[in-house]
Amino acid sequence: MAKTELPKVGQVIRHYFLWADEQAAGRTEGAKARPCIIIAIEPRPNGEPRVTVLPITSQPPKPNASVVAVPGALKERLGLDPARPAWVVVEEANVFAWPGFDLVPSRDGDFVHSAVTSGFFQQIVAAALAVHSRGKLQITDRDDL
């Protein structure tokens, strides 16, 4: 059984991320588990915080996409293939009550697989806030599906 320790921003989890185009096509679950970074945590009175996560992908970004490249040394720390490029997509987010039904536990039973450095986390936050200020952040609320 997976542990349910409280999450922290900057932690990396594996989550069946639901892209906005998948939701628009009628899907209610992501096609595959992928690494995602917890970018925000909203405490709630009932004790179940809601987390906002951004996906990490190895697929080349679409033109004009808002992404942050994951540095090579950090890819290894996150358990990503160091030979493949990786990006954090900062224009799409999933939000859900912790622990969500689409989380994948690590080998030790925890939901947290690793964490990014504070400097890289600040880059992601700045990029996500810039996207949000332009009204371009797409948020999929996984609890409402």
This model's pTM is above 0.75: yes
Read off the DSSP letter of residue 91.
S
Neighbours of 52 (CB within 10 A): 20
Read off the DSSP letter of residue 123.
H
The full set of domains in the chain, from first to last, is: 11-144 (2.30.30.110)
What lies within 8 Å, CB to CB, of 116 at 6+ separation is 10, 12, 37, 74, 78, 124
- Tens place of pLDDT per residue across the chain (145 aa): 455 678 999 999 999 999 999 999 999 999 999 999 999 999 988 778 999 999 999 999 989 999 999 999 999 989 999 999 999 999 999 999 998 889 999 888 889 999 999 999 999 999 999 999 999 999 999 987 5
Give the pLDDT of residue 108.
83
CA 113/CA 37 separation, integer angstroms = 10
Of 28, 38, 20, nearest to 98 by C-alpha is 38
